[in-house]
Amino acid sequence: MPKWLGIDEIHIIKKPRCVLTNIEHQTVIDMLDNRNKLTLLRYFTKRDVLNLSQWTCGVLIRTR
């Protein structure tokens, strides 16, 4: 996992998907089927992520 992890969402065919990005290198790491807590827990558990303290998360909120 990158040092700076971005977690955001994108809507594809009217369904929200979770997008994980490497903020430092401005690249997409993965796209998950949904953005549910259980989906994220399974994803990070499979990758044996132990030290979450070095990560940062950001969500862009579009205002109208």
User: 47-56, pLDDT tens digit by residue?
Assistant: 776 555 455 5
pTM, to two decimals: 0.71
Give me the pLDDT at residue 23, please.
Answer: 86
**More confident call, 51 vs 32:** 32
Element (H, E) at 46: helix 37-46
Q: Which of 50, 48, 57 is nearest to 22 (CA)?
A: 57
Mean pLDDT for all residues in the chain: 79
